[in-house]
Structure 1
């Protein structure tokens, strides 16, 4: 018996194991010798071929053991061809549907083995001995089979090419790699004689171009998008949105995967493993992104940075990752000393205050000249300026009081033009004012005798200058604290940048490792076997 004219097609079935039905069209071509049907062509006018209705002949009850259709009989009884030597050749048209157990572990880079098991339903091997038509090419071998008492070695006869593929209709989904035919002699508990069956194995390899384009490449792209989340700046506010979008796209791919592969709980398909790995990566990226955003928006008023955190994230990791941070440089002043940002800010405020004071004094002088004498203020401690000036503030009012500290502070123009050096020179020449070191080079005498004499001579100059010193010191301390807080905030932001860089490297390496350990493990990727048809 031989098999030819094969056309395979598959459709899924429900069951405890993932199975598919494989259809075979016009596959069997049995032939046998009937001793009663021999004749001599010379006795019958040279007739050497007869076509006889198959219903009039003895037919072997050959059926497909692993039938998936439920109909074991051939429905159309065609005529059989008789030869003078008694050989009967019968080619009934039939469609056989066999059940195949599909292994989805390496889907979509999988290969399958489907079998067709033919044998006599009634006759044992002693009565009907089934052999392959190319039995002269067969070789003897043994294989382990599962019996009623466990595994045992069974003798088998193998023909390497058991199916004629000359009339094969190529499949758009599968490639046929091998089609060996095997002959088995099996003993059953019911009978003493062995039963013979012919088993034809069809080794199939899936054509994975469709799945590679529509599943593998998008999945790999999505996994690398997970790593790019950490390259997105935290100030943009789009990191969480990108993570959620990737998670939703993975959900769509999972729904598509469920429709493609058979439902099974025995093993997870390869593409399912990779999508599950990618989903875990996306979930971890969401968690890590939340942590980095929390670090990014920390400040000195909410969190205290430990020495270990500063040493690891500001010193060690940036050097390890070759990250460079812009460092603020100290500027040189005219006298050669270094000044930081606080001094420059306070100097700018002092300069602005003297400018405002000069303008306010000009306005107040013009206003006082045009008013009656009884409307003019009795004392000049900046009351008139603060009341009628349109640009008055706390700093300008502070320096208005300094006009009456000493005869050396003659005009506001002197304060403005001389800036901090003029104030220092005036304070040095005035022996009645307590001297001490003020911010930005200002000096006040700290001599007790001079201070006592100055205090007895005049009571008013000491209180305003001390108030001015305290106010300027407060401004300097306030700006210094603001810059320190800003520096701590920038340190937290830089720590979040370092964390993003670390997780970017980790997730990128994880993406490559996922491809190597999951996708590239499929055996069929490295299979170079050329299909038979």
Structure 2
């Protein structure tokens, strides 16, 4: 126990002595080169930990990661045998020369690591510095297929002050390095998996499809030295479940309501109310959409196209419903022959819609007591007239009857008989007038029934047309999104195996 403590103290003292010897004359403001025209070679790689968020409205990508820097400082070499076999030191970053690698397309916050962490210094002068960072980078959001969209966001890293002749950024050695000469003469070295994703935590909103890394070496007109940067292209695809359940399905349901307006009977006063309610619901969805997508005029989002299509269909349904209600309330206006022929006969037979026989029978049944009463009264008055004629004929054949008739036809009874005949004729005339009026009302009721039948058939036609158009529009608008046919599997992360030892 005492030996271990002594060994630890000795090792600590050797580390202190080594640190003092290394940094006694060390100058952190000067590049670690032997000759001024030499460049410092930096092996750089971004280690992606998580995609924090994609701010569509601000067009910003938020990521969390670690910046891996590896370079060699010849001024910090030592022989481990001279310092108790100490081969590595943890040195505060503030004591070292550090490369000023920043994020060029930074949108918000600091483009450099927020905290200067310690670095690992090895005896051969190699330094490994891995500061953590949270970046908010610019990302041009393509909203054309929102919410089934795919985005390509870039992270461009490079030195802020040093040229390519002074600081040379390199990617780690890989088997899939590809040298490409661009049309402008610049050189590009591409790596298919340029980002370190060994500890990547999957995003709940986006799938990570590819992480291509590219080293660019360009010459600009202003300068005679190259500018070197390393750019990472992150291809991400939005997951479909959330927006399908919370945005697309409600929109499709509202669109279907535009066609079911025509399923309501024409007598209902809620047809227009339903149309206006659907328009209000679509307006609310538009307001929600404006809060999500960026205010760009370069492309119309997929969901906005569908909402616009739905709003047009709802507006047309309002106009069509007004037309149907106008037909329904035509009243006793004579129906043109071509409407009766085409709509009632042709469309009615095609759509299997006819006047119900039971309905016609019920109407006739309601009118039967009145018609029977009128016929009965008319028959009774005719019988009275026939009896009177028979009495007059009988007075000519039998004297007894003549004497009786003479007695009845004296001056006292004649006025009563004339008044009775006058009333009978008047009643008969009124009965015929009532019968004609009832017949006219029956005809008017038949005309109203025909117009209502035309309105119902028109409703059925509009129901069929709007249902087919909305269904076709829904399929065309939604299924055209490329991501719905994209079968690419998200980037697979392989974690190193953890070796465990069983107790014997």
Counterpart in the other structure of 1:149:
none
Deviation at 1:20, TM superposition (A): 2.9
Counterpart in the other structure of 1:90:
129
Counterpart in the other structure of 1:180:
212
Counterpart in the other structure of 2:227:
195
Structure 1 residue 234 corresponds to structure 2 residue 253: no
Aligned partner of 1:77 among 116, 137, 158:
116
Deviation at 1:479, TM superposition (A): 2.8
Deviations 1:65-109 (A, max 9, x none): 101235334443333222233322111233222111111221111
Counterpart in the other structure of 2:276:
244
| Residues 69 and 129, structure 2, Cα contact 8 Å, conserved in 1 | yes
Aligned partner of 1:163 among 187, 195, 206:
195
Aligned partner of 1:353 among 369, 377, 387:
377
Aligned residues: 426
| Distance in 1, Cα, partners of 2:359 & 2:287 | 57
Aligned partner of 2:296 among 252, 256, 264:
264
Alignment map for 1:493-504 (pairs within 5 Å)? 493-504=452-463
Counterpart in the other structure of 2:96:
57
| Distance in 1, Cα, partners of 2:124 & 2:81 | 13
The two structures, once aligned, show a CA RMSD in angstroms of: 3.5
| Residues 342 and 480, structure 1, Cα contact 8 Å, conserved in 2 | no
Q: TM-score, normalised by structure 1?
A: 0.71
| Residues 60 and 139, structure 2, Cα contact 8 Å, conserved in 1 | yes
| Distance in 2, Cα, partners of 1:347 & 1:94 | 96
Identify unmatched segments of 5+ residues in structure 2.
1-43, 397-416, 494-504
| Distance in 2, Cα, partners of 1:229 & 1:409 | 69
Structure 1 residue 407 corresponds to structure 2 residue 388: yes
Alignment map for 1:215-230 (pairs within 5 Å)? 215-230=247-262
Counterpart in the other structure of 1:324:
354
Q: 1:75 to 1:484 in 2, by over 3 A?
A: closer
| Distance in 2, Cα, partners of 1:499 & 1:33 | 84
Deviation at 1:197, TM superposition (A): 0.7
Give the stretch that moved more between structures: 230-239 or 464-473.
464-473
SS of aligned partner of 2:161: coil
| Distance in 2, Cα, partners of 1:312 & 1:518 | 35
Counterpart in the other structure of 1:527:
486
| Residues 51 and 81, structure 1, Cα contact 8 Å, conserved in 2 | yes
Structure 1 residue 477 corresponds to structure 2 residue 436: yes
Counterpart in the other structure of 1:137:
176
| Residues 405 and 461, structure 1, Cα contact 8 Å, conserved in 2 | no
| Distance in 1, Cα, partners of 2:133 & 2:178 | 30
Q: 1:61 to 1:343 in 2, by over 3 A?
A: closer
| Distance in 1, Cα, partners of 2:186 & 2:473 | 42
Q: 1:491 to 1:142 in 2, by over 3 A?
A: farther
Aligned partner of 1:516 among 472, 475, 497:
475
| Residues 378 and 428, structure 2, Cα contact 8 Å, conserved in 1 | no
Q: TM-score, normalised by structure 2?
A: 0.75
Counterpart in the other structure of 1:311:
341
Identify unmatched segments of 5+ residues in structure 1.
145-151, 332-339, 358-398, 411-425, 433-457
| Distance in 2, Cα, partners of 1:136 & 1:88 | 24
